[in-house]
Structure formats: C-alpha cells, structure tokens
Chain A
Amino acid sequence: MPDGATPFVLDVKDLKTVFRTRGGEVHAVNDVSFTLKPGELLGVVGESGSGKSVTMMSLIRLLPMPPAEIRGGQVMFEGEDLARVPEDAMRAIRGARIGMVFQDPMTSLNPVFSVGYQIMEPLRRHMGMSKRAAALRAVELMELVGINDAKRRLDDYPHQFSGGMRQRVMIAIALACDPKVLIADEPTTALDVTIQAQILELIKDLRQKLGMAIVWITHDLGVIAGIADRVMVMYGGQVVEQAPVRELFANPQHPYTRMLLETVPRITGERSEKLRVIQGQPPILSKAPESCAFRARCPQAFDRCAAQNPARYDVGADHDAACFWDFKTGAARDV
C-alpha cells in the first residue's frame, strides 16, 4: 500500500541505521519495520543498546550525522517518505506534526528561557501565531497537562518546576501544534513511581481528548502493560516480537520475551525464591546480523539459529516473532 490510502499514520519499512565510529561500524538498527495506526499507542520495549531509541530518532532524523548514517529503508508519514525529504521540510514536521518527549526533563528544557517561552516557541514557529495568541494557547496547554495556576507560571523558569512538572511542560510543548504522532522516549524513567503514576494517568486522559498516535519507548514492562495497545520487543537492533499487549503478555512467542517476562519480580502474587536469569550479555553489533542475535543466550537455540537470521514469522492474529522455534508445536518452525 504505497499509495496515499494507507490505514497507517506511520509506516516504517526496513529501516537501517549504522554508526561509523573509530572502532568500526555499529549496526544499531537492522531492517526494522513497523506500522502505527491513528490513535494507537505502540509500546517499544528493549534493553539499553537494543536500538529502540535510535530507531525512533532515525525516523525523525534527530541523530548526529555523521557518525550516524541511515543506510536504507522507508518511513512513510502522511504520504511522504521521511527518509528522503529535505532537511528544511523535515524541520517543519519535527515538533509540529510529530511531537517528541524525552527522558530527562531537566536537560531537554532550556534553563535560560521561561517555560512559557518554550511552549510558545513551536506555536510561533510552526503555526505562525502572534505572541498574544501563542501566550493564550500556552496557558491552555499548561492547563491541559495539569499545571495549576498556569497564567502565573508562564514566566517561571524550568528550575522552578519539580521533575514531574517539568515532564508535564515537555508534554505541553510536544502537544503544542496538535501532532499526528507523539514519540515519547522513556518519558517516566527519571521520575519516582508516584509521579510516574500521575504522568501515566495524564497520558491516558490526553489520548482520549486528543486522539493522537503515540510511540512509547521504555524498558519497563509494567508501564507498557498499563498503557500500550500493541507492543514491539527489540533486541540487538531488530524487532524480535510484535503483538497486541494482552496477547504478548499472555502468550509470548519469542524466547527473549518469554525470559524477560520471567526475570522481572512482581509486587503481588507468588514470590519466587530465585530469579530467572538470562545468562550472558547483549550482543555486540559490529556487523549486520547473519544469525539470530539472541542465539548465545537462548535455551531454545539450535543449529539453524547460527546459520541464518530468522525473519518475523506470523504466529497469531497481528502477532509475529523472529524465531525459528515454534513454541506452539514445541518443534523447529517448518519454513
């Protein structure tokens, strides 16, 4: 469906990003494909180095190039291929039709500009609003994200806000131009659990009000379970499994997902005496994968895993897993 009538707001195909460093190449993103439906919240889970952030930063081209290089792939957004549009067109999309929220609300806000100025900036730049109109809209946005006494706080500086409040400001900035897609990169990781709970409630509420599609990057399976519609699990720069959230947690089909779900201790229910461990270390991505990246840590691995990199096989309704082992039949996949 390369024509304009796609049912997806975002359609990414075979995205490939490589970092060229002095120590050689790092293949951070290897043929990642995924789609995002309007209004959907896609959770992206993975450990550090799994390529989840680099994938999202590649598609909005927010990576330093060089050393980063997008080697291939297609990113269809509103009929345009973002991998190919010129930089000034990209600038008009970033922060306007695609909003971003980053992990650390302290370093992503500019300490020398007032919060109001920073919320007004995208409004004036992308929407061409006058200062007065932008200020009015900024107050509206601050109220929307739950900042009390918004009018007075417009002139406050980031250091006058707490961590949770700063993250609300970041969300207000990201929402300023009414984006189609919001990319949230570990937005609650730096926050305390009680503040994280507040932000998660806010996001649920905003989704109902505004209906934008969200890509939510996190390493926290608990957060994903509560907020996502669909989940994509990444490992070694590849998508290893993708499924609707309930299906993924109830019926994981990739050994990595299965083990990941078993290693995390829970706060209720049965308490295990020993934690299940995934032995070994994450892979070093010095070349494009020729075999399964999880092979060395996988209890299911057999000879084929060393010879070939598994494709993403359909294992259920809207559910795929990149593994040669079929857990449903308990045997190697016949493909």
Chain B
Amino acid sequence: MSDTKGARKKLVEVKNLKMHFPIRTGLLRRVTGAVKAVDDVSFDIFEGETLGLVGESGCGKSTCGRAVLRLYEPTAGSIILDGEEIAHAPFDTLRRLRPKMQMVFQDPQASLNPRMTVASIIGEPLSEHSKMSSKDRLARIYELMDAVGLNRDFANRYPHEFSGGQRQRIGIARALALNPKFIVCDEPIAALDVSIQAQVVNLLEDLQDRLGLTYLFISHDLSMVRHIADRVVVMYLGKVAEIGPRDGLYDDPLHPYTRALLSAVPEPDPASHDTANRTILQGDVPSPANPPKGCNFSTRCPVAMPICHQVDPTMREVKPGRVVACHLYTETTNETAVHAAEPAGA
C-alpha cells in the first residue's frame, strides 16, 4: 500500500510501556496487587503505515491503544508521537497535541452522544480545537460527511436514525475533523455485519491513501488484520509475543502463540478443514493480575521447555524486521528445539 521504504519516519515510538491498574481490597481500600494490563510493551509505528495489533480478549490490546493516546496515565514507559514525548506530558502540551491523534471506537452506538445531531458530533472537535466561524465549520462538516460517504442532508439527524455501519462512518468523520496524523482504530468493525465490515475497511483504506494517515488497527479478527495491516503486533497477556511484517508473520509465524492463534482461525473453505493441522491450545488465558512465572504463555504453550517456566523471554530480532519473545529463538537453546516447534509435516 504505502511502501515508501528506505527513509521511513517513525511517527509513534512506544518504549517499555506499562499500564498497571491497582487492585484495592479491604475496608481501607489498600492496594494489594495490580492488573498488569500492559506490561513492558515496545513497538514503533512508521508514518503512513497500518500497524495491526491482535490478540484475544484481555490481552491488553485496547488498553495499549488507549494508553498510547494518553487516555490513561501510563504507569511507566515512554510514548513519542511525532518527536514529542507524551507519556508524562502536562495537560497543556497534551491538549496542543490532541488534534494530531484521534481514535475510532468499537461500538458506534455507545461512542456517539444520542442527544447530539450528526453535525454537532462531527463539529465538536472543531469548536474545541479551532477558531473557525460557524460558516466555515459547517462547510468542513459537509466536507467530512462527503469524505466518509454520508449524505449531507442527514446532518441534522440523530445517531439512532442510522445503521451500525453509518454510525461508524460518523465516528470516523469525527476522528478526521482536525486533520490528524495518527488514528487508533479500536476494533472499528467488530460490531458490524460481514457485508458492512468490508465497506468500513475500504473507507479506512481510501482515507489513508488520500490523507496519508497512520493507523494503529486493534482487532481480534486475524483475517481482517491480514487484509489491512502492513505490520502486525501479536499480544498475549499484556506482553508482545511477536512483531513482524504482515506477509512474513502470516506465512511463517515464529512464536508458538502466533502459530496456535493462526491455526485456530476457521477458514471459509470446507476443504481446508480436512487438511488443517490445528494446534488446539488447552486451557484458558491466565489472569493478568496473577501472571505465570517465566514466560506468560508457558502454561498453554505446546512446546514449553523448563526454562520457559523460570525466565521471562526478552524481545529479540531473529530475522530482519521479525521480533519475537520466545526462548526457542535465544542462543542458549539449541537448534533441535526450534525444529521441534515446527508444525509436524511442514
């Protein structure tokens, strides 16, 4: 899509981001623990690309997306947006930066105020962050409605008069109002029907091509992420399991979790189910309040080794652009372990 390789500029740099939520118990509400929703996560997003962020529910992908926009106060770490540190920036700085970074939410029903008209929803960021006259503002609102494929005549209608797909278009128009550089799309299509999903995804892609947007696309839908993303981050229980370019990651997943995740996706093709060599993971995801010792995935990993229950693997680049946090790829473990992890018969 937007392959301007060579001198690619990093628009967003996330380093060692931690987002812990305190657990309070007892009469005095003392902090007795923490839910480590995002635990030491690092990744970069290049200008003009779509970074897919995938994982199962509770893996921290949404928290991560919100923390990157400073909708939460991160516990630790650094977030650099377009050269400026925002992880611990004061309110004034943040407010100045807000127009650059916007968000599209999952549930278009819940993220639009039912008492506001479409025009006032889309125009709100404009009145908040710009000094446009009301005439200019209306012109901009119409322009945005055209851009996302909404009929101008509906500007004075209320959200409930629209279908799910159209509501998501309103949410996208609102996110675009201030000409942002970076948009976090948090499961923007999860609440929509299959035939409507394609409409919204195509719209997001068109807008990216036209406006040079950068997306962080959070989703649990691995096939849609394969369609839209240039690079993909796989999260498990608050940590990054693997980062890689789309084709490399889908064709040759390195982390055992990525492998299991991809093999669990049912393909809309009956013949593929006969030949599929599925890895069915046993058990459930552990609680992020009490993650297992060592590697987070060790309790469900089909190829776990003794070291996995002891030491938390670090992120390392094992091939150009392919970063993975797994002991199978550290030099201390031997080659045979890597081969043991290859899917049988491959």
Contact = CB atoms under 8 A, between A and B. Distances in A.
Contacts of A164: 284
Interface of B: 1, 56-57, 163, 165, 193-199, 201-202, 205, 220, 222-224, 226-227, 247, 250, 260-273, 278, 280-282, 284-285
Contact of A267 (B1, B196, B201, B226): B226
B199 A277 contact: yes
Given A195-B284, A225-B273, A265 B227 contact: yes
B74 to A, nearest CB: 26
Nearest to A219: B194
Given A164-B284, A192-B220, A201-B280, A226 B202 contact: no
A84 interface: no
Given A219-B194, A260-B195, A245 B56 contact: no
A162 interface: yes
Given A164-B284, A201-B280, A196 B271 contact: no
Interface string A175-204: 000000000000000001111111011000
A107 interface: no
Nearest to B205: A274
Contact of A245 (B247, B270, B285): B270
Interface residues of A, number: 45
B163 to A, nearest CB: 6
B266 A249 contact: no
Contact of A196 (B165, B264, B268): B264
A267 B222 contact: yes
A265 B269 contact: no
A223 interface: yes
Contacts of A226: 266-267, 270, 273
Contacts of B223: 222, 264-267
Contact of A194 (B205, B250, B260, B273): B260
B270 A225 contact: yes
Interface of A: 47-48, 162, 164-165, 192-198, 200-201, 219-226, 245-246, 249, 259-261, 263-268, 271-279, 281-282
The 9 A-B residue pairs with the shortest CB-CB distance in the complex, in nearest-first order? A222-B266, A221-B268, A192-B56, A265-B227, A278-B195, A197-B264, A47-B193, A275-B198, A226-B273
B264 A194 contact: yes
B193 A48 contact: yes
B188 to A, nearest CB: 14
B290 to A, nearest CB: 14
Contacts of B271: 246
22 contacts: A47-B193, A48-B193, A162-B284, A193-B264, A194-B261, A195-B284, A201-B280, A221-B194, A224-B268, A225-B266, A225-B268, A225-B270, A225-B273, A246-B270, A264-B223, A267-B267, A268-B272, A272-B227, A274-B202, A275-B198, A275-B201, A276-B198
Contacts of A246: 270-271
